[in-house]
Amino acid sequence: MAGLTLVVLMAVLGYGEPLIERYVTHFSYEEQHPEFALQPPGTQDISRDYSSFDGEGSHFDALDRNGDGFIGGDRELRDLYWIDRFFMFLFDDYDGVLPLIPSASAPKAVLKPIVAADNRISFDEFPVGFRHLNAQFSAEFFDHSADRFALAVQQDTSRLEGLVEERFRALGLRRADVFSRIDRDDDKNLTQDEVNEYRRCFRPFEKGAEAVATMDVDGDGRIARHEFLGAPELHTFFLGTDHLGRDVLTRLVYGARLSITIALLATAVSFFIGVTWGAIAGYYGGRVDNIMMRTVDVMYGLPFLFIVVLLMVVFGRSTINLFIALGAVQWLTMSRVVRGQIITLKEREFVEAAEVMGVSRMRIVFRHLLPNTVGPVIVYSTLMVPAIILEEAFLSFLGLGVQPPHASWGLMITEGVQVMETAGWLLLYPSIFLGLTLFSMNMVGDGIRDALDPQLERD
Amino acid sequence: MSLLTVENLSVQFDAPEGLVRAVDGVSFCVKPGETLAFVGESGSGKTVTCLALMGLLPDRIARVSSGTVLWEEKNLLEASPLELRRIRGNRMAMVFQDPMTALNPYLRVGKQLTEVLTTHRSTPHGEALLQAIAMLERVGLSDPEGTVTRYPHQLSGGMQQRVMIAMALLCEPSLLIADEPTTALDVTIQAQVLDLLKELQQSLGIALLLVSHDLGVVAGLADRVAVFYGGRIVETASTLALYPKPRHPYTQALLSSVPRMDRAKVDSLEVIPGVPLRRTDDPVGCGFAPRCPHAMEQCRSEKPTFSSSPLAKEDVQVACWVCPEYSS
């Protein structure tokens, strides 16, 4: 029972992958983060988060001045406008979502003028001086969110500069680019006029309304906490990443869908072909048996890959064809197992009894004989599942099966083997998933067999 | 008019040690409503004869080398599989020796019972189930409704054999072949099943072909008895004529080796000397001659044939040179 639960769980997991992606991993199976290639389990994805981050909600709290749980009203909207405006200035691709700057090491804001007394901002002083000069602009904004948006001021200028550089780098910006935008005359100094010109572009309330329109979902003209873009999304690669920086957990869950589906369907295909073939050969015996089983022998002789490749070429390369091809090759042993069973069973008296009663031969095969073969057949079927998962990996490796960016367990294990020494988790976790599934498959097989055997019925 | 007439039926098996004449020129007939019993030792050909009648011989190693099996004018040996299937189970049914192996362990009793009706009569399933329940009640099962939902292993041996009998009788056959129906059962159940068979046979008016090595069973049930030895019928007689006065030396020996309460207590039962006929041999004379205390020269050189004795009114036939009826 536990086994069945686990298999069902795996399959559900696989098909629930979009949901899991949405609520648990926050990565899609094909999403690449090259900067996080081959990171061990537990690595946190920071870069991703600058698209929206409001760690402890301080951005919201800062903007919600009157603390009523909404950003609304002239004053608060103007703040919003400034933020909006500033980010538009800082980021060419800013689309209304607040960026993140890692806050763990951010110093507390200490408002202290550090600008040289010449009333200009040199490149070295930017953006610190910029902020200071634009007292209204900066104070109102940075005051509230200084610990988050850490263009903070510190007495220790050198440290601050290092920090600023680091933040800009994290944002993918160069300080010089930003500076040169404001520095119209390109004299490497920002004068009050240049800053003022920049500020004249402000049309506070119109633009603020745009920001509201972006975030205000329920259309009441104000932004509630849950509407505020910037909910915390610091994501973790729970099981690490692969060589392209893809999340292993997401790919495992996605792979469950492909692997389990292919394995179960291919087993079903081979089950039906093999059981029917073996049963008919075994029951009719004689020449029929000879012809049918020699056919099987010939097919045993053909290289299995050759057949699969042929089938894939004839019927096209798709996942459906993949499992049909695998099943069409795997049924040979099944038919032998069933034939052997049927041959011993057909000498039993209840078969004679059925014949004496005038039951037709097909009915005897399918109603009387096949249920009696269920034990070995089920056991063999459950053993076939892992074999098919691994064969699928082999085919994928040859470029015939599942292709990247899609993931299957077999494929992941094959990839994992290659980097086993440097990134063991790439082999370990898919193997654990596969092992667990196979283990539970066997338990399911036992369970099905027991359930189908009336002599074990509890009454 | 007989229901089933068998003429000169021979069945041969290809065994590794040579051709085995399992049945060698057997002739008999069964009239409607009568009980004919086959008795004889193991390997004497009585079961093979029944299998041949039902078309159950394993076709790869056995074949019917000669003879006709007439079922109401139709030769079953030449019938097509479809015709055969229509007769089997429908007009002619069989009860097997061991009900434990003759019932499919994976099918519920109800399913197995109704299969006959749905196959031959195209009865809808619900109605077939009602008929099955009625028949189970008829064969004396106390809880027929419960029984149809059970699997064979949940029933006792006696109940299983009753289910087998019910299954055989569901289509109201004209002939029921019972191949040692009580051998696998314990003694008290044996008696019950035999009584049941007798009662059903009389009330339903079906003919019964009973195979047994138990002379006591046969005496209580059969109208006529055919005694098998070495693949041949050596004596056919009505039960009333056979038991008091067995004609064939083998029948005599067989009867005297049965323990009897009405005789004085003996220390050891009588045995028939010698060993049964080796079935690969084809003796020139009578197969029983080597063991027969009365064997004559003619017995060893010439096969005895059936001849109606002067006692024909008693319906006795004996194949023996020694028997007084022959010489007279």
Report CB contact under 8 Å: B89, A356: yes
User: How far apart (Å, rounded) are the C-alpha atoms in residues B136 and A332?
Assistant: 44
Tens digit of each residue's pLDDT (9 = 90 or more) over A416-444: 888 888 888 888 998 888 888 888 888 88
Nearest CA in chain A to B150: A454
Arithmetic mean of pLDDT, A140-152: 37
Predicted confidence at residue A87, as pLDDT, reads 52
Chain B hits for A354, Cβ within 8 Å: 104, 115
Average pLDDT score over chain B: 84
Arithmetic mean of pLDDT, A114-132: 49
Of the listed ranges A276-285, A383-392, B22-31, B231-240, the one predicted with least confidence? A383-392
CA distance B251 to chain A (A): 31
Q: Shortest CB distance from B88 goes to which of A349, A356, A371?
A: A356
Which candidate in A357, A372, A377 is best for mutational testing of the B interface (most B CBs within 10 A)?
A357
Contact yes or no for A182/A193 (Cβ under 8 A): no
Residue A276: pLDDT band by 50, 70, 90 thresholds?
A: very high
What would the DSSP string read from start to end of A27-71?
A: --TT---GGGTTPPTTEEE-GGGGGS--TTSHHHHHH-TT-SSEE
CA distance B56 to chain A (A): 7
Q: Can you list the positions of beta strands (E) in A59-190? A: 70-71, 121-122, 189-190
Q: Is B121 on the interface with A (CB under 8 A)?
A: no
Predicted confidence at residue A277, as pLDDT, reads 93
Residue A100: pLDDT band by 50, 70, 90 thresholds?
A: very low
Chain B hits for A368, Cβ within 8 Å: 104, 106-107
| B127-B128-B131 Cα angle (round to 5) | 90
Side chain identity, residue A181: R
Asked if pLDDT for residue A129 goes beyond 60, the answer is no
Arithmetic mean of pLDDT, A95-104: 38
Chain A hits for B85, Cβ within 8 Å: 358, 360
Chain B hits for A285, Cβ within 8 Å: 60
Tokens 């609304």 belong to residue: A72
Q: Is B306 on the interface with A (CB under 8 A)?
A: no
Average pLDDT score over chain A: 69
Nearest CA in chain A to B60: A286
Q: Shortest CB distance from B102 goes to which of A349, A374, A459?
A: A349
Closest by CA position to A312, among listed A326, A301, A299, A298: A326
Q: Shortest CB distance from A285 goes to which of B60, B87, B108?
A: B60
CA distance B155 to chain A (A): 11
Chain B hits for A452, Cβ within 8 Å: 106
Chain B hits for A349, Cβ within 8 Å: 96-98, 101-102
Q: Residue B70 is inside which H or E element, if any? A: strand B62-71
Assign 3-class secondary structure to B29-45.
EECCCCEEEEECCCCCC
Asked if pLDDT for residue A229 goes beyond 50, the answer is yes
**Between these two residues, A354 and A206, which has the higher pLDDT value?**
A354
CA distance B162 to chain A (A): 14
In terms of C-beta density within 10 A (0-12 exposed, 13-18 middle, 19 or more buried), how is residue B112 classed? buried
Contact yes or no for A409/A433 (Cβ under 8 A): yes
Q: Shortest CB distance from B56 goes to which of A350, A352, A363?
A: A352
Nearest CA in chain B to A371: B106
Report CB contact under 8 Å: B102, A359: no
Q: Is B107 on the interface with A (CB under 8 A)?
A: yes
**Between these two residues, A378 and A207, which has the higher pLDDT value?**
A378
pTM of this prediction?
0.63
CA distance B84 to chain A (A): 8
Nearest CA in chain A to B95: A353
Which candidate in B60, B86, B103, B106 is best for mutational testing of the A interface (most A CBs within 10 A)?
B106
Contact yes or no for B54/B93 (Cβ under 8 A): no
Which candidate in A288, A290, A342, A356 is best for mutational testing of the B interface (most B CBs within 10 A)?
A356
Chain B hits for A375, Cβ within 8 Å: none
Side chain identity, residue A315: F
Report CB contact under 8 Å: A374, B106: yes
Enter the DSSP assignment of B88: B
Reply yes or no: is the peptide bond before residue B304 cis, omega within 30 of 0.
no
Predicted confidence at residue B249, as pLDDT, reads 86
Question: What are the tokens at A64?
Answer: 């919600």
> B 61-100 residues with CB below 8 A of A?
84-90, 93-94, 96-98
Report CB contact under 8 Å: A352, B102: yes
Chain B hits for A358, Cβ within 8 Å: 84-90, 116, 119-120
Of the listed ranges A111-125, A422-436, B195-209, B235-249, the one predicted with least confidence? A111-125
CA distance B179 to chain A (A): 12
Residue A275: pLDDT band by 50, 70, 90 thresholds?
A: very high
Question: What are the tokens at A334?
Answer: 């099944």
Contact yes or no for B120/B90 (Cβ under 8 A): yes
Q: Residue B76 is inside which H or E element, if any? A: none
Report CB contact under 8 Å: B119, A355: no
Report CB contact under 8 Å: A357, B60: no
Contact yes or no for B28/B6 (Cβ under 8 A): yes
User: How far apart (Å, rounded) are the C-alpha atoms in residues A187 and A192?
Assistant: 13
Tokens 């329920």 belong to residue: A218
Helix (H, G, I), strand (E, B) or coil at B239: helix
Interface residues on A facing B, Cβ-Cβ cutoff 8 A? 285-286, 348-350, 352-360, 363, 367-368, 371-372, 374, 452-455, 457, 459
Residue A372: pLDDT band by 50, 70, 90 thresholds?
A: confident
Q: Shortest CB distance from A356 goes to which of B60, B94, B120?
A: B94
Residue A94: pLDDT band by 50, 70, 90 thresholds?
A: very low
- For residue B81, CA distances in Å to A358, A359, A364, B85, B182 come to 10, 11, 14, 6, 30
Side chain identity, residue B260: R
Residue A136: pLDDT band by 50, 70, 90 thresholds?
A: very low
Contact yes or no for A145/A59 (Cβ under 8 A): yes
Chain B hits for A372, Cβ within 8 Å: 104-106
Which candidate in B104, B143, B161 is best for mutational testing of the A interface (most A CBs within 10 A)?
B104
Residue B77: pLDDT band by 50, 70, 90 thresholds?
A: confident
Asked if pLDDT for residue A25 goes beyond 50, the answer is yes
Helix (H, G, I), strand (E, B) or coil at B165: helix
- For residue A198, CA distances in Å to A130, A179, A189, A193, A319 come to 11, 12, 14, 8, 57
Chain A hits for B116, Cβ within 8 Å: 357-359
Of the listed ranges A10-24, A318-332, A442-456, B84-98, the one predicted with least confidence? A10-24
Tens digit of each residue's pLDDT (9 = 90 or more) over A297-342: 988 888 877 777 787 788 777 777 777 778 877 888 899 999 999 9
**Between these two residues, A158 and B133, which has the higher pLDDT value?**
B133
Chain B hits for A363, Cβ within 8 Å: 115, 119
Q: Shortest CB distance from A454 goes to which of B59, B88, B153?
A: B153
Chain A hits for B184, Cβ within 8 Å: none
| Torsion angle, alpha carbons of A216, A220, A224, A228, to 10 | 10
User: How far apart (Å, rounded) are the C-alpha atoms in residues A327 and A307?
Assistant: 11
Report CB contact under 8 Å: B56, A356: yes
Tens digit of each residue's pLDDT (9 = 90 or more) over B178-195: 988 888 788 888 888 888
